[in-house]
Homo-oligomer: A and B are copies of this chain.
Amino acid sequence: MQASRFITLDDIAPLARGCAVLGTGGGGDVRSGALAAGRAIGEHGEVPLVTLSDLQPDALVVPLSGIGAPTVSHEMIHAAEEPGRIAEEIERIFGRPPTAIMSSEIGGGNGVAPVTWAASLGLPLLDADGMGRAFPEVQMVSMYVAGLPAGLLIMTDVVGNVTTIRPVDGLWAEQIARAVCVAAGSSALMADYVLTAEQARGAVIEGTVSRAMAIGRATEDAADPLGALVAELAATRLIGGKITDVDRRTTGGFVRGTVTVEGVGADRGRTLSLEIQNENLVALEDGLVRAMVPDLITVVDTQAATAVQTEGLRYGQRVTVLAWPCDPLWRTPAGLATAGPRAFGYDLDYIPVEDLS
């Protein structure tokens, strides 16, 4: 296998910054993940970043993610043994070891942590993920939308339990995996699908690790970080203002709530509210939708243009809310059925963000 490039220590900060932006508020904290990734590269060496064309058709790709409430995963670092236990179970089931690790979810900490998992296993990371963003539920992955049967989930936790689920469909996968996660203390490491490189073609969103690093790099030394980020994302600026209300609770392994942003400066007199379920899902102004899932909605610090995750939202923060189009896969009928507004209980017909502005 020929790696296209390597992820080095210098890549971690921009990767983390980009993943936080793509996290739309969720996917877990990037800071602890970035620290762990730096340590892992120091210990195990740089991580090869490969593309699907670098892999043999029968190579086993393992999409990994942490599952659980971000509130909890802040506090629980996945032990080094966890990816090893998943790899061991895969070898037991498939009779051969995994070839490459993939991030199930590029958004948030789940986009950064696979560097650590790949490094500790001595495996390359695939430049792709299953969302192109973050989503709160297990079945909300491109592999499911692409019609691959939800054949196999492998979960492990800090204690060392290993649970393998062969669900009848993606919704049962979510229901059982969520229950196992909550039983294990609301935090677990999970392989959702195990794919051959051949199966992965058209069923994963390619190039998203590079994309996250590019987003991070665009803002890190910019004179006007917010302007640079808006340009890099081709994003719509929904509002610039300050947070005046945060109504947030953690329940059943999820963080849910509503956040209110009141405009300042040019936006004075306007109010935007965000509906949240781990991620920012719907942005409303005067009862009208300004952006909705599966399009990406991210709250950033107005000064630094760094993403603010759901857990970091605080009264009085100066923030700008950005929205931009999701991967085209999510706009297909299957994509919208899986992760459109109705999949989250909102009685809304999906309208692309670029048509709402």
Contacts and interface: CB of A to CB of B under 8 A. Distances in A.
Interface of A: 89, 92-93, 159-168, 172, 175-176, 178-180, 182-184
Contact of A166 (B162, B172, B176, B183): B162
Closest 10 pairs between A and B when the two form their complex, measured CB to CB: A179-B183, A179-B179, A164-B164, A162-B166, A160-B168, A163-B165, A176-B183, A161-B167, A175-B183, A161-B172
30 contacts: A89-B166, A92-B93, A159-B168, A159-B172, A160-B168, A161-B165, A161-B166, A161-B168, A161-B172, A161-B176, A162-B165, A162-B166, A163-B163, A163-B164, A163-B165, A163-B166, A163-B176, A163-B180, A164-B164, A164-B165, A164-B166, A175-B183, A176-B180, A176-B183, A176-B184, A179-B179, A179-B180, A179-B182, A179-B183, A180-B180
A172 B160 CA distance: 10
A179 B176 CA distance: 8
Contacts of A165: 161-164
Nearest to A173: B161
Number of identical protomers: 2
Which of A168, A178, A179 has the most chain B CB atoms inside 10 A of its CB? Answer: A179
Nearest to A92: B93
A158 to B, nearest CB: 10
Of the listed residues A93, A159, A176, the one surrounded by the most CB atoms of chain B closer than 10 A to its CB is A176
Contacts of A92: 93
Contacts of A182: 179
Nearest to A176: B183
Contacts of A175: 183
A191 to B, nearest CB: 13
A80 to B, nearest CB: 16
Nearest to A166: B162
A355 to B, nearest CB: 39
A178 B184 CA distance: 12
A316 to B, nearest CB: 39
Contacts of A93: 92
Instruction: With a 10 A CB-CB cut-off, give which of A93, A160, A161, A165 has the most chain B CB atoms.
Output: A161
A161 B182 CA distance: 18
A27 B197 CA distance: 47
